[in-house]
Amino acid sequence: MSITKPDLSVTLGPLKLKNPLMTSSGTFGYGQEYSELFDLNLLGGIVVKGLSVNPKTGNPPPRIVETSCGMLNAIGLANIGLKAFVEKIAPWLAELTTKVVVNIYGHTIDDYRAVAEGLKGIDAVSALEVNISCPNVECGGMVFGTDPAIAAQVTKEVLKKADKPVIVKLSPNVTDIREMAKAVEGAGAHVISLINAPTGMAVDIRTRRPKLANVSGGLTGPAIRPIALHMVHQVVRTVKIPVIGIGGIMNYQDALEFLIVGARAVQVGTANFVNPRTALNIVEDLERYCIENGIASINDIIGTLDLPPWK
């Protein structure tokens, strides 16, 4: 029997998406920036830019630089702050039928708690994604996302305040990402997303200055995809909670790699800059792929990685 309308919907614990395509935090603004170009409701979800309690102006320029098959950024999490988000952005987002996820961050555990608390009862928001890649001022600037115990603590505190599913976004800048995944799963996280950006650097050989004013920044784009895929593979084999794969996805073949490895959804990031319709193109291409290959549900692909030894 031929498939005419494959089922692309996926379930990530308490979070149901009409398809596995999301846009990643910091690459899609608040969605408004892209809404003129296509219907956002055709996506599984959008993750809006990192939100903190207070507005943040961000780092001095230059903030971004192009590198081989990728880019470095040190934006400094510039954002309008919780109050302006709730008053000005949330009402617009409430009109969308796609799932809206708010990425939250802080420099203290209290910061995280306050954002989670402030988003309570905001129906426009379907889930929180906790960014644990920023420096923890209470622990001498150590990054939350590199210490399993602190990552677990942040997760627990956000869960106490949140009335929505909690996704924890893992940093790749660790020795063993499985330890981080186990810690946040143990703390009760509903979903894990990975990877955030590996730290990188570029130098202008003429001026002998770093190309970013912040000296280092997060490397994103297709350059990081194999690293991301490997880490997603490690994590899906370590935890039982659902995983969202992120890192350099440019097209449906890239997305399929993550799904085959076991991610239940994927986020498209830097590719939004290259072609704003990338995530939507991938939805359409996945549908066509399923039809052409007689696949009734995208779930029939997820986690089907065939590992050696092969018969």
Q: Which residues bind other proteins (CB under 8 A)?
A: 26-29, 33-34, 36-37, 49, 55, 57-66, 68-71, 73, 75, 78, 221-222, 250, 270, 272-277
Burial profile 258-277: b = 16 or more Cβ within 10 angstroms, e = fewer: bbbbbbbbbbbbbbbeeebe
Least separation in angstroms between CB 223 and other proteins: 8
Look at the alpha carbons of 78, 84, 88, 91 in this order and tell me if their dihedral is positive or negative.
positive
**C-alpha–C-alpha distance, residues 115 and 112, integer Å:** 5
Least separation in angstroms between CB 241 and other proteins: 29
134 is catalytic: yes
Least separation in angstroms between CB 37 and other proteins: 5
Cis-peptide, bond into residue 195, ω within 30° of zero: yes
Residue 205, CA atoms < 13 Å, CB-side half-sphere = 0
- Name the catalytic one among 69, 134, 139, 290: 134
Tokens 């890192």 belong to 247
- Which H or E element spans position 275? none
**C-alpha–C-alpha distance, residues 63 and 201, integer Å:** 12
Least separation in angstroms between CB 211 and other proteins: 9
Contact 261, 236 (CB under 8 A): yes
Least separation in angstroms between CB 59 and other proteins: 8
Helix, strand counts (H, E) of the chain: 10, 18
Residues 201, 181, 107, 223: what is their CA dihedral angle, to the nearest 10 degrees? 20
For the sheet with 70-73, list strands across it.
64-67, 70-73, 216-220, 199-201
Nearer to other proteins by C-beta: 11 or 68? 68
- Name every residue whose Cβ is closer than 8 Å to that of residue 293 and which is 6 or more positions away in sequence: none
Note the residue count of the chain: 311
Least separation in angstroms between CB 72 and other proteins: 10
Nearer to other proteins by C-beta: 184 or 255? 255
Give 206-213 contacts, CB < 8 A, sequence gap 24+.
Answer: 211/62, 211/65, 211/72, 212/62, 212/63, 212/64, 212/65, 212/72, 212/73, 212/74, 213/59, 213/60, 213/61, 213/62, 213/63, 213/74
Catalytic center residues:
134
